[in-house]
Structure 1
Amino acid sequence: MCSLGMKDSWGPLKALAVATVINGIGDIVLCRVFSYGIAGAAWATMVSQVVAAYMMIEALNSKGYKGFAISIPSTDELLQIFTIAGPVFLTMMSKVAFYSLLVYFATSMGTQTIAAHQVMVQLFMICAVWGEPLSQTAQSFMPELLYGANRNLSKARMLLKSLVIVGASSGTILASVAASIPWLFPKVFSSDPQVIREMQKILLPYFIALFVTPSILSLEGTLLAGRDLKFISLSMSSIFVFSSILLMLLSSKGLGLSGCWFALVVFQWARFFMALRRLTLSNGILYSEEATQNELQKLKAA
Structure 2
Amino acid sequence: MKDSWGPLKALAVATVINGIGDVVLCSVLGYGIAGAAWATMASQVVAGYMMVEALNKKGYNGFTLSVPSFSELQNIYNLAAPVFITMTSKVGFYSLIVYFATSMGVQSVAAHQVMIQIYCLCTVWGEPLSQTAQSFMPELMYGVNRNLSRARMLLKSLVIIGALTGLILGCIGTSVPWLFPQAFSPDAAVIKEMHTVLVPYFIALSITPSTHSLEGTLLAGRDLKFISMSMSGIFSLGALVLLLLTGGGYGLAGCWWALAAFQWSRFGIALRRLTLRDGILYSDDLTRYKFGLQKTA
Normalising by the smaller structure, the TM-score range is over 0.9
Tell me by how many angstroms 1:182 deviates: 0.8
TM-score, length-normalised on structure 2? Answer: 0.96
**What one-letter code is carried by the residue in structure 2 that aligns with 1:45?**
T
Could you say what secondary structure the match of 2:281 adopts? coil
* Mapped partners of 1:53, 1:250: distance in 2: 43
* Mapped partners of 2:25, 2:106: distance in 1: 35
**What one-letter code is carried by the residue in structure 2 that aligns with 1:52?**
A
Post-superposition Cα deviations, 1:181-207, rounded to whole Å, max 9, x if no partner, equal 110000111111111000001100000
Where do 5+ consecutive residues of structure 1 fail to align? 1-5
Residue 163 (structure 1) aligns with: 158
* Mapped partners of 2:291, 2:32: distance in 1: 50
* Mapped partners of 1:222, 1:36: distance in 2: 45
Q: Does 1:122 align with 2:117?
A: yes
CA root-mean-square deviation: 1.3
Could you tell me which of 206, 213, 216 is aligned with 2:208? 213
Could you tell me which of 201, 204, 209 is aligned with 2:199? 204
Residue 236 (structure 1) aligns with: 231
Residue 274 (structure 1) aligns with: 269
Could you tell me which of 82, 86, 102 is aligned with 1:87? 82
Q: Does 1:295 align with 2:288?
A: yes
Post-superposition Cα deviations, 1:276-297, rounded to whole Å, max 9, x if no partner, equal 00000000000112x2x2235x
Residue 51 (structure 1) aligns with: 46
Runs of at least 4 residues off by over 4 Å: 299-302
After TM superposition, list the pairs within 5 Å mapping 1:1-302 onto structure 2: 6-289=1-284, 291=285, 293-296=286-289, 298-299=290-291
Could you say what secondary structure the match of 1:212 adopts? helix
What is the total number of aligned residue pairs between the two structures? Answer: 294
**What one-letter code is carried by the residue in structure 1 that aligns with 2:123?**
A
* Mapped partners of 1:29, 1:254: distance in 2: 48
Where do 5+ consecutive residues of structure 2 fail to align? none
* Mapped partners of 2:151, 2:88: distance in 1: 29
* Mapped partners of 1:219, 1:155: distance in 2: 15
Tell me by how many angstroms 1:247 deviates: 1.2
* Mapped partners of 2:103, 2:27: distance in 1: 39
Tell me by how many angstroms 1:78 deviates: 0.9
* Mapped partners of 2:159, 2:234: distance in 1: 21
TM-score, length-normalised on structure 1? Answer: 0.94
**What one-letter code is carried by the residue in structure 2 that aligns with 1:208?**
I
